[in-house]
Amino acid sequence: MPITTCIFDAYGTLFDVAAAARAVAAETGRETFARHWPAIAAKWRMKQLQYTWLRAVMGAHIGFWQVTQDGLDWALESEGLEGDTGLRERLLHLYRELAAFPEVPAMLAALRQAGKQTAILSNGAPDMLDDAVRSAGIGDLLDDVLSVESVGIYKPARVVYDLVGQRFGCAPEEVLFVSSNGWDACAAAGYGFQTVWVNRAGDPVDRLPATPDRQLPDLTAIPPLAGA
């Protein structure tokens, strides 16, 4: 069945989750942080994801902005930088303005020109996603931004993927779902979407019940895959 709808995860897929820490590390006076930033960026992302999964299993949902702050606090403490409140505030401020990966605007524009519906489906809170989309200047290239907050549980719960069909009236097999998170791409494949894992790091495939249909190193080839 032809693809009518292209759905993207946000953080790590369209938006570079390491951009905030990288930018702060380059600022004058941040020499100590510059020595720690790669580890902090990695740990921040790891804990952010772990807390979404754990909260989903525990039935203790809380918004993604709080999860993001909790993950950062853990990462800073693990590197001995928990006492720098100015650093924490700066990192969180920049996280609301994450840069999109360079290929994102042209990729979305090509999909739109071909008549494909485009949207984000994210764990992010609506206000976070609004800030990121606005900062990246891609709002006019998206038909919608869908957040798990409407169902109160994080991916990979199936009810989250249900949001796509509810919004666009499409069958799962009409959807090309794109994520940089291997577990997310696997879950979406099990749901019935056509899936692409944007495997920028060259990681192994997760050992889960389903696997992504394709892997790509970035988003450049998404339009031809979608028939654009």
- The residue behind tokens 């820490």 is 21
What's the pLDDT score for residue 228? Answer: 72
| Closest listed residue to residue 137, CA positions, set 109, 161, 115, 156 | 109
In CATH, the architecture of 5-15+99-225 is: 3-Layer(aba) Sandwich (3.40)
Strand partners for 198: 216
Task: Please tell me which residue in 9, 73, 84, 203 is annotated as part of the active site.
Answer: 9
Residue 212 preceded by cis peptide, ω within 30: no
Q: pTM for the whole thing?
A: 0.96
DSSP 17-70: TTHHHHHHHTSTT-HHHHHHHHHHHHHHHHHHHHHHHHHHHHT----HHHHHHH
85 membership: H or E segment, kind and range: helix 85-95
| Position 1 pLDDT exceeds 90 | no
List, for residues 116-154, the tens digit of each pLDDT value.
999 999 999 999 999 999 999 999 999 999 999 999 999
CATH architecture, domain defined by 19-95: Orthogonal Bundle (1.10)
- If pLDDT is split at 50, 70 and 90, which confidence band does 13 have? very high
State mean pLDDT over 26-50: 96
Average pLDDT, the chain: 97
Sorted by where each begins, the domain ranges of the chain are 5-15+99-225, 19-95
- Is residue 206 part of the annotated active site? The answer reads no
